Structure 1
Amino acid sequence: MNCFVMKRNDYKISNSLSDHNGHPAVTVITAVYNAENYIAECILSVINQSYHNFEYIIIDGGSTDNTVNIIKQYEKHLAYWISEPDKGVYDAWNKALMKSKGEWITFVGADDQLHLDALHLYMEHINAHPLKDKLEFISSFIELVNEDLSPIRTVGAAWKWQDFKREMTTWHLGAFHSKNLFIKYGNFDTSYKISGDYEFLLRAKDQLNTSFIEQPTAKMRSCGMSNVMLFKASEETYKAKIKNKVLSNVKGQALILIDKFRLLVRKSFGWKRF
């Protein structure tokens, strides 16, 4: 088994977690596996941020294409990276969290891109917020794009418990998570493969302290979700609600069956709205 590890001592962030101007440190995390066509663009969108007090961590799942070689080309800009087999994206994120030093943590997919002022917008928003010391989660609008980065639509909404407990209304790409959120609620549950970020945020229920930036901060490629992934995402979403007592086990299991039937009908009609 091949395993590549890179550690550096000259992180962009200081041991005090703030620079000499008092700018809080941010950790940017990317989990990647066989993304040679996109990873360089993703890395460049991070390392060229206008906000400078951040560290960048990349966790590769043991890529078999040219991804690792591309990462090595940028390793002087990375606080930490590793390439080894893992149990999926949430396992990779947990590995990165163990190495992170930032007061705020954000996740960027290997085929996604941050706007170059994204970190600055988030920190500016946080610093101006009247309850900035209590904030735990901040999200924004996200631009969904095709593979060639041509626009599809803009998505995202402010977090509201009554909406969020029904479905994932926020987008994890570029969203800021307070380090205290992980101290309080633990890391991601690696038994989830698609809906682990939703399950994590459900743990706080209506006690999550949030804010929203009414500007796009990132571009997310929308390559479509396979039939298998749609069924898996639906099942995991209801299991997350059962785990966090948003739904009873009986009602949750019933809704899993109902939603499977709904998805089967959609599939039979070519995934038209049902």
Structure 2
Amino acid sequence: MTSKPLISVIVAVYNGSKTLQRCIDSVSDQTYPDKELIIIDGGSTDGTVDLLIANNDKITYWQSEPDNGIYNAWNKALNHAKGDWIYFLGSDDYLWKRSVFEETSSHLFKAESENIRLVYGQVARVTKNDDICCIEGDSWDYTRRGIVADGICTFTHQGMFHHRSLFETYGKFDESFRIAGDYELLIRAFKEGGAALFINGLIVAGMQTGGVTANCTKLVKETARARRNNQLRVITIPWLISYAWAICYPSLKSLIGDKNSRYLVNSGKCFVAVLSYKKNAILEHNNN
């Protein structure tokens, strides 16, 4: 691989005409030249296809046909991706600034030289009015523990660059999941260990609140199924607290609004994950 790796951006969309143009422009406006954009549409009827046709010069490959959800769409896109690194962006999300890929490229080169298959930065959760709710993304020790040991989603895929060899080694997304297929893939890839490179201080994308992951209860239930499928313990204290948060989230949202409830939920998740991380560190220290 050269110092300028090819980055494949994959977007799944269904009836996303209101936000897709911003997503496309955020990719095409990148100062980094070595990129491609692949968009898989699930058979939209709202004008999304017309938008894809109008942006044909900015898109390397696109198709529109009924599918079986976001992970089916992503798997289709992977068949067409030629990049050294694969990046998944939501159709209502966008790259944070024009230089994101340029700033990331040296880290991708470093990661491959060290046989690291996951590079990630931070993600800003934003409202429909682009107000920032919170910034997500932390060290790999913290993130991996949340994913594998605690059973909580301490990551956002909009901040992650996956080396293509990760899919060649561990397979594609499990399409039986509707929300937590990216979580299940990370368990599959890192449950036995492995390193990732965290780019501290780099906001990769703006992620609009809402979407499929807004169904918090279903998300927590799917994380439990992902853990069972990979022979990991499901019932952990952080997972139970996450379930409680998920049940309370709709009431919180109606009482204090989307922005404040998202901030509160994220703060609670981080607090639980940090406590678990510190507890584990103390136990490891005592055992040594």
Quote the residue 1:188 is aligned against: 173
Specify which of 55, 69, 78 is matched with residue 50 of structure 2: 69
Q: Distance in 1 between matches of 2:175 and 2:136?
A: 27
Specify which of 24, 28, 53 is matched with residue 43 of structure 1: 24
Q: Compared with structure 1, are the counterparts of its residues 154 and 263 closer, same or farther at alpha carbon in structure 2 (3 Å cutoff)?
A: closer
Amino acid at match of 1:186: G
The offset of 1:156, in angstroms, is: 1.2
Q: For residues 1-274 of structure 1, what are the structure 2 equivalents within 5 Å? A: 22-114=3-95, 115-128=97-110, 132-160=113-141, 161-165=144-148, 166=150, 167-204=152-189, 205-214=191-200, 215-223=202-210, 229-247=215-233, 263-264=246-247
Q: Distance in 2 between matches of 1:220 and 1:259?
A: 20
Deviates more, 1:207-216 or 1:235-244: 207-216
* SS of the residue 2:157 aligns to: coil
* SS of the residue 1:152 aligns to: strand
**Unmatched 5+ residue regions in structure 1?**
1-17
Quote the residue 2:282 is aligned against: none
Q: Compared with structure 1, are the counterparts of its residues 168 and 208 closer, same or farther at alpha carbon in structure 2 (3 Å cutoff)?
A: farther
Q: Distance in 2 between matches of 1:266 and 1:46?
A: 32
* SS of the residue 1:203 aligns to: helix
**Unmatched 5+ residue regions in structure 2?**
256-260, 269-288
Q: Compared with structure 1, are the counterparts of its residues 141 and 258 closer, same or farther at alpha carbon in structure 2 (3 Å cutoff)?
A: closer
TM-score normalised per structure 2: 0.78
> Percent identity among equivalent residues?
35
Q: Distance in 2 between matches of 1:164 and 1:35?
A: 30
The offset of 1:266, in angstroms, is: 6.3
Structure 1, residues 74-131: CA drift from partner, whole Å, max 9, x if none?
A: 11221110000101100000000011111100001001111211111221222345x6
Q: Compared with structure 1, are the counterparts of its residues 65 and 245 closer, same or farther at alpha carbon in structure 2 (3 Å cutoff)?
A: same
Q: Compared with structure 1, are the counterparts of its residues 50 and 268 closer, same or farther at alpha carbon in structure 2 (3 Å cutoff)?
A: closer
The offset of 1:142, in angstroms, is: 0.9
The offset of 1:48, in angstroms, is: 1.1
* SS of the residue 1:247 aligns to: coil
TM-score normalised per structure 1: 0.82
Structure 1, residues 166-225: CA drift from partner, whole Å, max 9, x if none?
A: 212121004100000000000000100000000001002142320111111111111377
| Runs of 4 or more consecutive aligned structure 1 residues displaced over 4 Å after TM superposition | 224-227, 255-274
Higher helix share: 2
Structure 1, residues 131-169: CA drift from partner, whole Å, max 9, x if none?
A: 634011111111111112122221111223322222121
Q: Compared with structure 1, are the counterparts of its residues 256 and 67 closer, same or farther at alpha carbon in structure 2 (3 Å cutoff)?
A: same
Quote the residue 1:9 is aligned against: none
* Kept after mapping to 2: 8 A contact 1:159/1:170: no
Q: Distance in 2 between matches of 1:26 and 1:85?
A: 26
* Kept after mapping to 2: 8 A contact 1:141/1:216: yes
Q: Compared with structure 1, are the counterparts of its residues 42 and 259 closer, same or farther at alpha carbon in structure 2 (3 Å cutoff)?
A: closer
* SS of the residue 1:46 aligns to: helix
Q: Distance in 1 between matches of 2:137 and 2:243?
A: 26
Amino acid at match of 1:118: V
* SS of the residue 1:220 aligns to: strand
The offset of 1:66, in angstroms, is: 1.1
Q: Compared with structure 1, are the counterparts of its residues 265 and 33 closer, same or farther at alpha carbon in structure 2 (3 Å cutoff)?
A: closer
